[in-house]
């Protein structure tokens, strides 16, 4: 049995990817399972989805995947906020959407597992018109792991996307062609620096009734992790009017000493409202 863990962001279609993969595997006569790990997350927040695929026996385990054979990452930014390689088997494979080459990625992320990379965002923009990479990454997955035939993915994608299906099928095929797979680089794991959350209290430490006595604990919640684009201010165009400051729904746009504005990236979710409201077009949203 092959176990897969998907890392995506809320709204990126990771759940759909896993479902389509399961449907493709089942259409090949295999046993497969897809299920999400639901939380309170909003659009942009890191989410997990799981697959199990077995060529010949029914799948009984109904628990999340802790030791995946395959990890697939839909968003390059997730490498820096969550340990995507956690529990990945030594003979497993990590499939990444990244604009970086295999060599570049290896310099910052390596381990005993194999690596596969594809610039899925660029392919999705070209073939579908939006940077939603879930179907694109299915092509990369099929190429890197051979877990299903590329053709098996076509029917589920057509069924799911109707009129918009053609671009998704094309993106999936293009990613299949462009995915680069490398052999294991080394056995010493090397990972990007990751923000560590606070340790959760145990039952002995909780106050009776789980009462929270300190206000403002939501302040620790790093909503900046949800961001896939960030606002960048062009000081040539900025007239310091403060419209971005007024419209930011998170209250995370701050004024600098010089009177310009900038976003607090700990909280900025990259919603783009500031860029939309800026009437001198001084704010551009750039990909993380």
Judged by CB under 8 A, does residue 63 bind other proteins? no
Cβ proximity of 179 and 144 under 8 Å = yes
288 class by beta-carbon count within 10 Å (0-12 exposed, 13-18 middle, 19+ buried): middle
Element containing residue 18 per DSSP (H, E): helix 14-27
Q: How far is the CB of 215 from other proteins (least distance, A)?
A: 5
Phi, psi dihedral angles at 221 (to 5 degrees): -75, 115
For other proteins, the closer of residues 163 and 210 by Cβ is: 210
x/- site string to other proteins, residues 164 to 193, per CB under 8 A?
A: ------------------------------
Cβ proximity of 81 and 12 under 8 Å = no
Contact residue for other proteins among 29, 188, 197, 202 (CB under 8 A): 202
For other proteins, the closer of residues 217 and 255 by Cβ is: 217
Q: How far is the CB of 249 from other proteins (least distance, A)?
A: 20
Question: Helix, strand, or coil here: 138?
Answer: helix
Q: How far is the CB of 41 from other proteins (least distance, A)?
A: 11
How far apart are the C-alpha atoms of 229 and 288, rounded to whole Å? 5
Contact residue for other proteins among 62, 210, 257, 258 (CB under 8 A): 210
Contact residue for other proteins among 66, 103, 187, 212 (CB under 8 A): 212
Q: Which of 141, 140, 139, 122 is nearest to 131 (CA)?
A: 122
Judged by CB under 8 A, does residue 209 bind other proteins? yes
Judged by CB under 8 A, does residue 158 bind other proteins? no
- Tally the C-alpha atoms within 13 A of residue 87's C-alpha that lie toward its C-beta: 13
Judged by CB under 8 A, does residue 162 bind other proteins? no
Q: How far is CA 233 from the centre of its chain?
A: 26
How far apart are the C-alpha atoms of 175 and 164, rounded to whole Å? 17
* Residue 185 DSSP symbol: -
Number of residues that bind other proteins (CB under 8 A): 17
Judged by CB under 8 A, does residue 208 bind other proteins? yes
Contact residue for other proteins among 130, 206, 232, 246 (CB under 8 A): 206
Strands 31-37 and 46-54 turn out to be: antiparallel
Contact residue for other proteins among 213, 236, 249, 251 (CB under 8 A): 213
Q: How far is the CB of 45 from other proteins (least distance, A)?
A: 13
For other proteins, the closer of residues 198 and 258 by Cβ is: 198
Contact segment (CB under 8 A) with other proteins among 5-13, 207-215, 227-235, 275-283 equals 207-215
């Amino acid at each position: 049995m092959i176990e897969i863990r998907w890392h995506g962001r809320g709204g990126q279609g990771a759940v759909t990817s896993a479902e389509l993969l399961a449907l493709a595997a089942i259409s090949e006569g295999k046993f497969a399972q897809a299920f999400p790990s639901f939380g309170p997350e909003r659009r942009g927040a890191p989410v997990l989805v799981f697959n199990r695929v077995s060529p010949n026996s029914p799948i009984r385990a109904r628990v999340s995947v802790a030791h995946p054979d395959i990890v697939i990452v839909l968003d390059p930014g997730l490498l820096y906020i969550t340990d995507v390689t956690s529990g990945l088997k030594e003979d497993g494979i990590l499939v990444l959407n990244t604009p970086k080459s295999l060599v570049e990625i290896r310099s910052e992320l390596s381990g005993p597992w194999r690596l596969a990379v594809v610039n899925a965002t660029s392919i999705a923009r070209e073939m579908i018109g939006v940077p939603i990479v879930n179907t694109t990454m299915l092509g990369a997955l099929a190429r890197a792991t051979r877990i299903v035939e590329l053709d098996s993915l076509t029917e589920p994608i057509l069924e799911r996307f109707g009129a918009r299906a053609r671009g998704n099928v094309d993106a999936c095929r293009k990613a299949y062609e462009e995915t680069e797979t490398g052999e294991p680089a080394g056995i010493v794991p090397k990972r990007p620096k990751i923000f560590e959350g606070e340790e959760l209290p145990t039952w002995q430490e909780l106050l009776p009734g789980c009462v929270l006595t300190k206000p403002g604990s939501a302040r620790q919640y790093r909503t900046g992790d949800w961001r896939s684009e960030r606002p960048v201010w062009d000081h040539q165009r900025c007239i310091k009017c403060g419209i971005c400051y007024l419209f930011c729904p998170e209250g995370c746009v701050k004024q600098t000493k010089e009177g310009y504005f900038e976003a607090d990236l700990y909280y900025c979710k990259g919603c783009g409202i500031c860029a939309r409201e800026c009437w001198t077009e001084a704010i551009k949203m750039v990909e993380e």
